[in-house]
Amino acid sequence: MLLLLACTTTPVVGNPDILHSALSFQLEKLEGTAELSVLPPEGATEVSLEIGDLEISEVQVNGTDVATEQKAGKLNVPTEGTEEQTIFIRYSFSTHENYIGWGPTRGESFTWPYYCGNLFPCNSELEDGSTYDLELRGVPGQQVAVYPQKISAEAPAYTPAFVVGDYTETPIGTTTGGTRLSVWTRPGDLEAMLDGTSLLVQTFGFLEKTYGPYTFGDHAGSVSVEWGEEYGGMENHPYWHISGWALRSQEVHTHEAAHAWFGTGVRFACWEDFVLSEGTTSYISGRALEEVGGPNLFTTYVAEMDLFCGTEEDVSTLPNGCNEIDIATDPLWSMVPYMKGACFYEDVADQIGVDRVDEIIATFYQNHVGTAVRMEDMLDAIRAELKTEEKAAFEERVQLWLLNEKCPTDYAERCGKHGN
């Protein structure tokens, strides 16, 4: 007797580089389609897409129906070599009122930090950046949907977002760099929004002039949402979201706008590098408001540090590892990387000069916009511009602000004296 054994090949599954995502949402029916331009990783026979709790009804690769496997919130799709290819997916999605997808009661989508799969097939890895086309259909009644039809620069998967409600657009001006700015408000919000954005055209213009061009289109601005106290803003460029309690805060509006340069523009490669996003953004927000006659944010940062310095909430700003933490539950998800990160740059500016720090940040942004990098890359960029006699004092600042678990004992003097 001759026994014939079936020969099976185990698929090699990898995470794709998603180059472009064309997304369409039908809100009334809770249905969507995604057309993804992807590059499979070398050697992979399947790519893995995050699909959260989506219900998949159709998948095509380069126009041909394919069989797929779904497991643990992932969709494994067979690929055809390692060249760029198109994956089309038809699906339905659920509603979520806990900031992990589409929340119809709030009238807003929210997917930070890694819940994009509850809204569309995606790769939430920070290394991956995609451009986007967005379409919204089935908007209820006379409500207005506020969202960008196109995100023209590579951005993290948590960036695409939309809001639906009784919204009115109010133009607030054009920057010296040519970017038109507007605000979108619900009934009763306009006065507070205009108060909070009274300097936004100037601060946005400073960011463009000082660090480099805005890469997310020629129209941007703040959108009013209601989250309660949990969040102040979210960097959904080009139309970032500001919670009702923060509408009058020039700091929050400028901060979310500044994420176009760091966090959304230059992505951080690992969650341990969160300070590259939040600390850098907090610093350049302070610089922008300082330059246009706004409030001194550095004294505000010291007041924030008064709340955690010397407590158990004070942790290292730049922990070891890469994506070994869950940012949603790790102690790093706190004000620590925002405040200590901003004050690190401020202290370096006191050492080598504000203009030199601005020039280093600008060069770094222009060299890395649209890519994911690590905070160590920023530190190396600063080191490369230091004179020999400046290096020891700089490394002391790296240790004090970023590596030590506790705030510097003289943090108030070091940070609050900015501009003196």
- For 31-70, what is each residue's pLDDT tens digit? 999 999 999 999 899 999 999 999 999 999 999 999 999 9
User: If pLDDT is split at 50, 70 and 90, which confidence band does 409 have?
Assistant: very high
Name residue, tokens 């901003």: 342
Q: How confident is the model at residue 420 (pLDDT cuts 50, 70, 90)?
A: very low
Looking at residue 226, its amino acid is: E
Task: Assess whether pLDDT exceeds 90 at residue 217.
Answer: yes
Q: How many other CB atoms sit within 10 Å of the CB of residue 187?
A: 9
Judge whether 24 and 50 are in contact, CB under 8 Å.
Answer: no
pLDDT-derived band at 419 (thresholds 50, 70, 90) equals low
Cα–Cα distance, 380 to 378 (Å, whole number): 5
How many percent of the chain have pLDDT more than 90? 92
**Contact assessment for residue 314 and residue 336, using Cβ atoms and an 8 Å cutoff:** yes
**d(Cα 405, Cα 308) in Å, to the nearest integer?**
11
Please tell me which residue, 80 or 259, carries the higher pLDDT value: 259
For CA atoms 210, 213, 217, 219, give the dihedral sign.
positive
Please write the tens of the pLDDT for every residue from 288-327.
999 999 999 999 999 999 999 999 999 999 999 999 999 9
Query: pLDDT digit string (tens) for 254-264?
Result: 999 999 999 99
Report how far residue 143's alpha carbon sits from residue 161's, in angstroms, rounded to the nearest whole number. 16
Contact 396, 311 (CB under 8 A): no
- What mean pLDDT is predicted for residues 350-363? 97
- pLDDT value at residue 242: 98
pLDDT at 1 over 90: no
Q: What number of other Cβ atoms are within 10 A of residue 70's Cβ?
A: 14
**Residue in the structure block whose two tokens are 């057309």:** 35
Mean per-residue pLDDT, 175-188: 98
**φ, ψ for residue 317, nearest 5 deg:** -75, -25
pTM confidence score: 0.95
Give me the count of residues in the chain.
420
What is the rounded CA–CA span in Å between residue 267 and residue 274? 10
- The pLDDT, as a whole number, for residue 6 is 43
**2 pLDDT more than 80:** no
d(CA 65, CA 88): 9
> How far is it, in rounded angstroms, from Cα 170 to Cα 349?
37
**Per-residue pLDDT tens for 328-347?**
999 999 999 999 999 999 99
pLDDT tens sequence across 3-15: 444 445 678 889 9
Burial of 56 (0-12, 13-18, 19+ CB in 10 A): middle
Domains of the chain (ranges plus CATH)? 16-164 (2.60.40.1730), 168-258 (1.10.390.10), 267-416 (1.10.390.10)
Q: What integer best gives the mean pLDDT of the chain?
A: 95
Work out the pLDDT band at 112, boundaries 50, 70, 90: very high
174 contacts 247 by C-beta, under 8 angstroms: no
> Looking at residues 348-373, what average pLDDT do you find?
98
| Candidate from 225-234, 330-339, 369-378 with smallest mean pLDDT | 225-234
pLDDT above 70 for 215? yes
Distance in angstroms (rounded) separating the CA atoms of residues 231 and 67: 41
Q: Name 33's Cβ contacts closer than 8 Å, sequence gap at least 6.
A: 23, 24, 88, 89, 90, 91
What is the amino acid identity at position 309?
C
In this prediction, residue 7 carries a pLDDT of 43
